[in-house]
Amino acid sequence: MSTRDATMMDDVAEILLDTETISSRVRQLGADIARDYAAKDVVLVSILKGALPFLADLMRAAPIPLALDFLEVSSYGTSTETSGVVRVLKDLANPIEGRHVLIVEDIIDTGLTLNYVIEHLRAQRPASIKLCALLDKPARRIVPLQIDYRGFEIPDKFVIGYGLDYAERYRNLPFIGVLRPEVYRR
Ligand code: IMP
């Protein structure tokens, strides 16, 4: 372990959701999705990069035929706040017209990013669009959104791990923790 890696844990103020808690909730969500989409042509549309660990676990908990596709977006803003101005960096590889889309996202904070993404996808005329988010931070919501499959509601704290980053770091932590505020004030 390098000195850089060794300091990762020092930047965690508290563990909010441990590995076992995440994994049992993701298994439940997978079972719900498998039940609801069993007979449908479903595409899981995931948003790079934070949702990747969640997507990987979720799809293996949903033993039904499904397809994957990816969007990469960047939202302008400060390091811990989004502005609502979203740019598509990577678009879907395949058409979604007439198919059932389930968006798989790591966290809904203000809702601005997802609101943009939903409009972007709706323009491509899918049969339906639903939203699955591992984390919901309702305290900061600006745009109301219906979360059809929700993992956990969390308090208004900046979290890292299980895909979530701060300045591209901490994504590989196997739990979800609160980042020490000193780190982003540095
Ligand atoms: P929104 O547009 O404010 O809902 O922000 C959504 C995006 O901001 C998420 O997909 C994350 O990439 C990022 N984000 C929001 N809150 C957090 C957090 O607590 N930790 C890490 N990333 C976050």
Residue-range domain boundaries for the chain: 20-155
Query: The whole model's pTM is what?
Result: 0.93
Q: How far is the CA of 38 from the centre of ligand 1 (A)?
A: 30
CATH of 20-155, one of 3.40.50.2300, 3.40.50.2020, 3.40.50.300, 3.40.50.720: 3.40.50.2020
Q: Is 104 in the pocket of ligand 1 (CB under 6 A)?
A: no
Q: How far is CA 147 from CA 7, 106, 130, 142, in A?
A: 35, 12, 8, 14
The pLDDT tens digits of the residues spanning 21-34 come to: 999 999 999 999 99
**Would you say the CB of residue 183 lies under 6 angstroms from ligand 1?**
no
- 149 contacts 132 by C-beta, under 8 angstroms: yes
Residues 101-111 pLDDT 10s:
999 999 999 99
Whether 109 sits among the annotated catalytic residues: the reply is yes
Instruction: Check 57, 109, 136, 165 and give the catalytic one.
Output: 109
